[in-house]
């Protein structure tokens, strides 16, 4: 593994980590699809700013992108409040409009520049190590890595500062507004942060996989964690595992790193949903099975008591309408319990 | 020359007309079920199906690709339903998960196809943003058949569906096969979305479901009126958008249709707001 590949892996991990805090907030708040809306709406800000400053390397492009991402949130919330639209329709109404306007502007006014809709949709993580951060003649590493580290730090600091408020706003909005925790302020502040994170990440991984990095680890962590802090830690570990495994698979099979990371977040999600200790499908089936067995064994004991201690499997089966298999299970359960 | 241009414009126009009608009809019900974002999920999830069908058959004909997209869309809906039923994760998080993971799978398949030495791979690119101008006679035939199936099925399950959408518990109580009706509805939704990928592509298909339904909801007061209004606006917006994209070279069809449809809807909403503030 050479140095370039190492850097690429670090960038991938960092990109995944940036998305953890906003992702957990979005998932707990129930507005996960807002990340989809934001990451698509960004393009309009970029194109608009590009047409204004006429340069692809200006930091103003990112400012424009952030503004556009935030604007789509404000518009969505506003239309939900004023026009009484349901949440899903309000989200689905505005972001395709923003995205289409951006594509139209590109094809009309910027077709001969290097502003391509494919890059927005698919991202170009592979070329990220080649854009270096050089200050005063010293090479500090890839720009994407440094930006990613700074953004990760920023999200963590924001979370630490707002921790109590965030938890109040997420789990008891009425109490939050009574105690003047300002739920609206916190919500829009977090949305601004999400928009900034989406801006810093989407040029690397494309606007759809941003959703995978934000939502999927947080959704998996929801199954395993028992507090918000735990959820953050779990989500961060899922995203690191997904980034490493995704990168390794993509390197072996020589296909899209970004898509591979998205698939790995999905694989981890599936594993967690099926195999999580308490909330997973297997765990739930185990608990339910135990409860049913306990109840059924009580029935059988009742039956034995009523028939003055005489019991045979066929009568029990017929009395309660159980299948042969279930009768066997219940009798075995009683047998094990009484031994 | 004139006849040729007319003919070349007629087939896409008819295709878009059918797609707009279907999207308006089905979008109304998706809107009432508060599941329009499921449409977005299905559209994104169709990508791996389309790519997979292409890889599997080595065939670029749109019938095969659409069939692949249909299967993948059904898988996505089934997964979403199962996860919503058996886990405590919020339904929006489930939709986001399925959407992005399926799209990631599609990306991997797409990059794999791009390395293959086959010329027909250009076909796949038109599913990202749609290109109605390349609709062929066979596609129109397929769209007509799909449209007939969708409309007939929808009219057959109209009343039960409305009851299920507005009051699912009541439907259960009076012994309606809720599960069957919802499954039929989801199949119709997937059919319409996959057919619409021709016109507006994977990224923007959800808008064609939402925008007409929102406008129609603001204008009408019953389900029948809303459905017909949405279908009419969907078809009109499709035609107008296509005319706009044909008016200049290289204008993509999908975004043009979306801008027209959403723009009109926003006008309707603004008019409603203005009227309310005056009254």
User: In CATH, what number is assigned to the domain containing residue B212?
Assistant: 1.10.3470.10
Higher pLDDT, B45 or B249: B45
Would you say A19 and A210 are in contact if contact means Cβ atoms under 8 Å apart? Answer: yes
What is the Cα–Cα distance from A181 to A304, expressed in whole angstroms? 61
Q: Which of A104, A111, A259 sits opposite B104 (nearest CB)?
A: A259
What is the Cα–Cα distance from A233 to A226, expressed in whole angstroms? 11
Higher pLDDT, A55 or A94: A94
CB spacing of A32 vs B87 below 8 angstroms: no
CB spacing of B100 vs A255 below 8 angstroms: no
Contact status of A322 with chain B (Cβ, < 8 Å) = no
Rg (CA), chain A: 27
Q: How many residues does chain A have?
A: 339
Question: At residue A30, does pLDDT exceed 80?
Answer: yes
What is the Cα–Cα distance from A215 to A24, expressed in whole angstroms? 7
Closest CA to A69 of A166, A184, A181, A202: A202
Q: What is the ipTM of this complex?
A: 0.91
* Mean pLDDT over the full length of chain B: 87
CB spacing of B99 vs A101 below 8 angstroms: no
CB spacing of A107 vs B100 below 8 angstroms: no
Which domain range does residue B94 map to? 2-278
Angle at which helix B36-57 crosses helix B122-129, to 10 degrees, equals 180
Question: At residue A114, does pLDDT exceed 70?
Answer: no
**Which of B52, B76, B99, B107 to probe by mutation at the A interface, max A CB count within 10 Å?**
B107
Higher pLDDT, A214 or A113: A214
* Cβ neighbours of B201 in A, within 8 Å: none
| DSSP β-bridge partners for residue A138 | A135
Helix, strand, or coil (residue B156): helix
CB spacing of A111 vs B210 below 8 angstroms: no
Contact status of A33 with chain B (Cβ, < 8 Å) = yes
Model confidence at A278, pLDDT cuts 50, 70, 90, reads confident
- State the smallest CA–CA distance between residue A339 and chain B in angstroms: 35
Q: Nearest residue of A to residue B277 by CA position?
A: A82
Least confident of A7-16, A117-126, B210-219: A117-126
Sign of CA dihedral B162, B164, B168, B169: positive
CB spacing of B204 vs A206 below 8 angstroms: no
Element (H, E) at B120: none
Contact status of A101 with chain B (Cβ, < 8 Å) = yes
Model confidence at B173, pLDDT cuts 50, 70, 90, reads very high
Q: Please report the residues numbered 91 through 110 in chain B whose beta carbons come closer than 8 angstroms to any beta carbon of chain A.
A: 92-97, 99-101, 103-108, 110
- State the smallest CA–CA distance between residue A216 and chain B in angstroms: 5
CB spacing of A259 vs B106 below 8 angstroms: yes
* Cβ neighbours of A218 in B, within 8 Å: 93
**Which of A27, A208, A239 to probe by mutation at the B interface, max B CB count within 10 Å?**
A208
| DSSP β-bridge partners for residue A12 | none
Closest CA to B201 of B257, B122, B140, B145: B257
- What's the average model confidence in pLDDT over A83-106? 89
Q: What is the pLDDT of residue B5?
A: 65
Q: What is the pLDDT of residue B232?
A: 95
Least confident of A9-23, A42-56, A61-75, B158-172: A42-56
What is the Cα–Cα distance from A144 to A129, expressed in whole angstroms? 7
CB spacing of A260 vs B106 below 8 angstroms: no
Structure-token pair, residue A31: 């507005």
- State the smallest CA–CA distance between residue B8 and chain A in angstroms: 23
Question: At residue A336, does pLDDT exceed 80?
Answer: yes
Q: What is the pLDDT of residue B75?
A: 96
What is the Cα–Cα distance from A215 to B94, expressed in whole angstroms? 9
pTM of the model: 0.90
Q: Which of B44, B210, B250 sits opposite A93 (nearest CB)?
A: B210
| Domain count of the fold of chain B | 1
Model confidence at A116, pLDDT cuts 50, 70, 90, reads low
Q: Nearest residue of A to residue B32 by CA position?
A: A86
Contact status of B31 with chain A (Cβ, < 8 Å) = yes
Question: At residue A124, does pLDDT exceed 80?
Answer: no
Q: What is the pLDDT of residue B118?
A: 66
Beta strands in chain A (DSSP E): 132-135, 138-142
Question: At residue A171, does pLDDT exceed 70?
Answer: yes
* Cβ neighbours of A259 in B, within 8 Å: 103-108, 110-111
Model confidence at B1, pLDDT cuts 50, 70, 90, reads very low
Element (H, E) at A45: helix A33-53
All residues at 6 or more sequence positions from B258 whose CB lies less than 8 Å from its CB, including other chains: A96, A97, A99, A100, B200, B204, B207, B208, B211, B241
* Cβ neighbours of A223 in B, within 8 Å: 87-89
CB spacing of A279 vs B35 below 8 angstroms: no
Q: Buried b vs exposed e over B221-248: b needs ≥16 C-beta within 10 Å? A: eebeebbbbbbebbbbbbbbbbebbbee
CB spacing of B101 vs A40 below 8 angstroms: no
Q: What is the pLDDT of residue A326?
A: 86
What is the Cα–Cα distance from B29 to A228, expressed in whole angstroms? 36
Least confident of A112-116, A215-219, B271-275: A112-116
Question: At residue A25, does pLDDT exceed 60?
Answer: yes
Residue A278's φ and ψ, nearest 5 degrees, are: -100, -40
pLDDT-above-70 percentage for chain A = 97
All residues at 6 or more sequence positions from A149 whose CB lies less than 8 Å from its CB, including other chains: A14
CA B99 from centroid of its chain's CA atoms: 15
Pairing state between β A132-135 and A138-142: antiparallel
CB spacing of B90 vs A27 below 8 angstroms: yes
What number of C-beta contacts closer than 8 Å exist between A and B? Answer: 194
């Amino acid at each position: 593994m050479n140095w370039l590949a190492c850097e690429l892996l670090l960038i991938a991990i960092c990109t995944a980590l940036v998305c953890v805090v906003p992702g957990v907030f979005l998932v707990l708040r129930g507005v996960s699809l807002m990340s989809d809306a934001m990451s698509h709406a960004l393009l309009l800000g970029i194109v608009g700013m590009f047409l204004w400053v006429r340069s692809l390397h200006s930091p103003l492009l990112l400012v424009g992108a952030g503004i556009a991402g935030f604007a789509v949130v404000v518009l969505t919330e506003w239309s939900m409040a004023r026009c009484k639209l349901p949440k899903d329709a309000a989200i689905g109404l505005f972001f395709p409009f923003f995205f289409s306007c951006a594509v139209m502007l590109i094809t009309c006014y910027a077709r001969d520049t290097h502003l391509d809709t494919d890059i927005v949709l698919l991202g170009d993580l592979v070329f990220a190590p080649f854009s270096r951060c050089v200050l005063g003649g010293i090479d500090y590493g890839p720009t994407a890595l440094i930006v990613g580290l700074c953004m990760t730090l920023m999200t963590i600091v924001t979370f630490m500062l707002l921790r109590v408020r965030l938890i109040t706003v997420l789990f008891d909005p009425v109490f939050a507004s009574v105690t003047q925790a300002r739920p609206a302020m916190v919500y829009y502040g977090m949305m601004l942060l999400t928009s900034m994170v989406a801006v810093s990440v989407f040029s690397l991984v494309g606007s759809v996989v941003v959703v995978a990095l934000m939502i999927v680890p947080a959704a998996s962590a929801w199954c395993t964690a028992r507090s918000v802090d735990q959820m953050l830690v779990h989500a961060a570990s899922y995203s690191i595992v997904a980034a490493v495994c995704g990168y390794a698979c993509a390197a072996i099979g020589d296909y899209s790193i970004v898509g591979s990371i998205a698939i790995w977040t999905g694989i981890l999600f599936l594993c967690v949903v099926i195999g999580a200790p308490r909330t997973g499908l297997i765990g739930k089936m185990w608990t339910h099975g135990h409860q049913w067995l306990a109840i059924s064994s009580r029935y059988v004991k009742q039956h034995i008591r009523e028939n003055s201690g005489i019991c045979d499997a066929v009568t029990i089966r017929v009395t309660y309408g159980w299948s042969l298999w279930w009768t066997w299970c219940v009798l075995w359960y009683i047998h094990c319990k009484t031994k | 020359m004139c006849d040729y241009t007319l003919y070349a414009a007629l087939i896409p126009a008819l295709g878009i007309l059918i797609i707009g009608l279907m999207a308006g009809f089905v979008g109304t019900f998706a809107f009432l079920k508060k599941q329009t974002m499921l449409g977005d999920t299905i559209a994104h999830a169709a990508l791996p199906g389309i790519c997979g069908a292409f890889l599997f058959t080595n065939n670029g004909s749109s019938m095969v690709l659409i069939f692949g997209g249909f299967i993948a869309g059904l898988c996505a809906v089934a997964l979403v339903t199962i996860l919503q039923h058996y886990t405590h994760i919020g339904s929006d998080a489930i939709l986001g998960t399925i959407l992005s993971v399926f799209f990631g799978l599609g990306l991997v398949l797409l990059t794999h196809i791009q390395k293959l030495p086959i010329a027909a791979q250009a076909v796949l690119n038109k599913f990202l943003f749609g290109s109605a101008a390349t609709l062929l006679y066979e596609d129109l035939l397929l769209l007509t058949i799909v449209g007939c199936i969708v409309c007939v099925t929808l009219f057959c399950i109209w009343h039960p569906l409305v009851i299920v959408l507005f009051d699912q518990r009541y439907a259960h109580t009076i012994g309606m096969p809720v599960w069957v009706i919802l499954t039929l509805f989801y199949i119709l939704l997937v059919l319409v979305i996959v057919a619409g990928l021709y016109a507006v592509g994977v990224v923007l298909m959800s808008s064609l479901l939402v925008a007409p339904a929102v406008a129609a909801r603001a204008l009408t007061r019953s389900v029948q009126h809303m459905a017909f209004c949405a279908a009419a606006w969907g078809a009109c917006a499709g035609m107008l958008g296509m005319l706009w994209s044909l008016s200049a070279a290289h204008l993509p069809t999908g975004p043009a249709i979306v801008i027209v449809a959403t723009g009109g809807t926003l006008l309707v909403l603004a008019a409603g707001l203005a009227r309310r503030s005056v009254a």
